[in-house]
A and B are shown apart, each in its own frame.
Chain A
Amino acid sequence: MPSLLKALSSQVGRKLLTGLTGVALIVFIVVHLVGNLTLFGPPDAFNIYAYKLHSLGPLLWLAEIGLVAVFAIHSYIGLSIWWNRRKARPQKYHVYSSKGAPSRQSLSSKSMAFTGVVMLIFIVFHVRAFKYGETTMTSIPGVDYPVKDLKALVITSFLDPVMAFAYTFVMMLLGVHLGHGIWSAMISLTLSNPQRSAAVYTAGTIIAALLSVGFLFIPLYIYFTGGQGALIQY
């Protein structure tokens, strides 16, 4: 029997890893979205959420290191699968077309590498803008020193049309990535019942759309209400 490392780097092992890391990333973005939506809660909710997250200290660092590792493994294997297909078919077809259902070839499945790379580039700018971005200080109840006013940072950022629409665009790509991704991860993680598989495909596209809309609602709402909409309390 092959060693663990050899098994994980086999074609089956690689898909197991893209599937597992894909699911881990979905869990991460669900938590991230729930956190983001506190923007629409009581006036201090978003900053309190951010404060609580940061007060986790070393636990948060650990989670961040884990997240970077998950992103790295996911991107590396995903892109190498995409890159290696050239080797497996050096001479391309003159004409090629899908035979249609039950094929899962779609805009979504065919653009996994593209949507992935755009998200990867996005993440760099995103972390720089929101994690390391400059903002005013504010106070929150129960904390006797000033904390970063991240709510103000988010709202002023999305008043800028370039930020608001670029963010919206990338969140649409996230939905496209997950349209195939959620189902694909389940097949990689050995879901083999054909009826259940069809149901998971439908559910996957719906969840992908909900996640995408959940994220992109925030910049669009802030931009179109000038940050003064009824859903945001100051």
Chain B
Amino acid sequence: MSQMTIHLKIWRQEGPDTKGAFENHTLDTVNEHMSFLEMLDVLNEELILAGNEPFEFDYDCREGICGSCNLVINGRAHGPKRLTAACQLHMRNFKDGDSIVIEPARAAAFPVIKDLVVDRSAFDRIIAAGGYITVRTGSAPEANSIPVELEDSTFSFDYAACIGCGACVAACPNSSASLFTAAKLSHLNRLPQGEPEREKRVVAMVEQMEKEGFGDCSNYGECEAVCPKGISIASIAEMRRNYIKATIAG
């Protein structure tokens, strides 16, 4: 099992209103089987033992399902591998002696809380604006009582895979949140349960997305390339169609 030396350049920022800067660290004991976040754990342990402040970074599940991690690694959201969240990335994707730059997601709508942790509550507010359905509460409804077209259930399920990590915003040259918003919209709009609020939902969520200060979408498609779940920008076209139907061509 080979040990690697990795040179790290990591963003350090005290808080939202302070200026940040990069800090350089070299780790000599990186193991190729470590995950990227374990590598950061090792660094933090060294820092703590030496009486220094560790780097803050977000994570929870460490298996690509919660959407907490969102590091920008060498200029790419979640690092070099496609369909892989930063927490699923392994050090074998790097070489001995590599230099790695780690930055937080950068967007006005995602202010830095500390170091690599950014505030993604703008996403929560987009969801709150319309990402819900009206259902009768109480006992679970009979699963087969509402028929759903196979195509719709398939697409809806694909879009529901969005974990809300914000990589799409981080990677978009315009810092647009269109892929996130569109995935949430198509997930609900495609199902009969989401039908009653379809028009209201698309208008409210598009409005909220703009209000939060996310940029316009120029169809760069970078969001799809970095999305750990491979959400297609077809959802953005769907969002536009639903929005136009609800407002302009309604």
Does B244 make an interface contact (CB < 8 A)? Answer: yes
User: Knowing A12-B239, A88-B109, A93-B75 touch, does A197 contact B225 (C-beta < 8 A)?
Assistant: no
Is the CB–CB distance between B221 and A104 below 8 Å? yes
Proximity bits, B196-207, A CB within 8 Å = 1, else 0? 000100010011
CA distance A109 to B217 in the complex (A): 12
Is the CB–CB distance between A91 and B234 below 8 Å? no
User: Of A7, A90, A103, A189, which one neighbours B222 at CB under 8 angstroms?
Assistant: A103
Q: Which residues of B contact A98 (CB under 8 A)?
A: 76, 222, 225
CA distance A85 to B74 in the complex (A): 21
User: Of A103, A180, A194, which one neighbours B234 at CB under 8 angstroms?
Assistant: A194
CA distance A16 to B237 in the complex (A): 11
How many of chain A's residues have a CB under 8 angstroms from any CB in B? 50
Q: Which residues of B contact A192 (CB under 8 A)?
A: 234-235, 237-238, 241
Does A89 make an interface contact (CB < 8 A)? Answer: yes
User: Knowing A93-B75, A190-B241 touch, does A11 contact B210 (C-beta < 8 A)?
Assistant: yes
Is the CB–CB distance between A8 and B248 below 8 Å? yes
CA distance A119 to B17 in the complex (A): 41
CA distance A11 to B126 in the complex (A): 14
Proximity bits, B177-213, A CB within 8 Å = 1, else 0? 0100000000000000000000100010011011001
Interface residues of A in 153-196 (CB under 8 A from B): 180, 183-184, 187-194
Does B174 make an interface contact (CB < 8 A)? Answer: yes
Is the CB–CB distance between B217 and A11 below 8 Å? yes
User: Of A84, A97, A100, which one neighbours B74 at CB under 8 angstroms?
Assistant: A97
Is the CB–CB distance between B219 and A94 below 8 Å? no
Is the CB–CB distance between B216 and A81 below 8 Å? yes
CA distance A226 to B180 in the complex (A): 57
Q: Which residues of A contact B109 (CB under 8 A)?
A: 88
CA distance A12 to B209 in the complex (A): 11
Does A14 make an interface contact (CB < 8 A)? Answer: yes
Does A102 make an interface contact (CB < 8 A)? Answer: yes
* Distance between B220 CB and nearest chain A CB, rounded to angstroms: 5
Complex: chain A residue closest to B202, CB-CB: A12
Does A4 make an interface contact (CB < 8 A)? Answer: yes
Q: Of B214, B219, B234, which is in contact with the most chain A CB atoms at under 10 Å from its CB?
A: B219
Interface residues of A in 1-40 (CB under 8 A from B): 1-2, 4, 7-8, 10-16
Q: List 15 A-B contacts (CB under 8 A).
A: A1-B199, A12-B244, A82-B218, A87-B108, A87-B215, A88-B215, A89-B108, A94-B9, A98-B76, A99-B171, A102-B224, A109-B219, A184-B218, A184-B219, A187-B237
* Distance between B233 CB and nearest chain A CB, rounded to angstroms: 7
* Distance between B204 CB and nearest chain A CB, rounded to angstroms: 10
Does B116 make an interface contact (CB < 8 A)? Answer: no
Does B247 make an interface contact (CB < 8 A)? Answer: yes
Q: Of B74, B106, B209, which is in contact with the most chain A CB atoms at under 10 Å from its CB?
A: B106
Interface residues of B in 143-192 (CB under 8 A from A): 171, 173-176, 178
User: Knowing A100-B225, A105-B173, A112-B218 touch, does A90 contact B108 (C-beta < 8 A)?
Assistant: yes
Does A145 make an interface contact (CB < 8 A)? Answer: no
Is the CB–CB distance between B237 and A191 below 8 Å? yes
Is the CB–CB distance between A188 and B224 below 8 Å? no
CA distance A222 to B30 in the complex (A): 65
User: Knowing A1-B199, A97-B74, A184-B219 touch, does A16 contact B224 (C-beta < 8 A)?
Assistant: no
Q: Which residues of A contact B9 (CB under 8 A)?
A: 94
User: Knowing A11-B206, A194-B232 touch, does A94 contact B108 (C-beta < 8 A)?
Assistant: no
CA distance A95 to B175 in the complex (A): 15
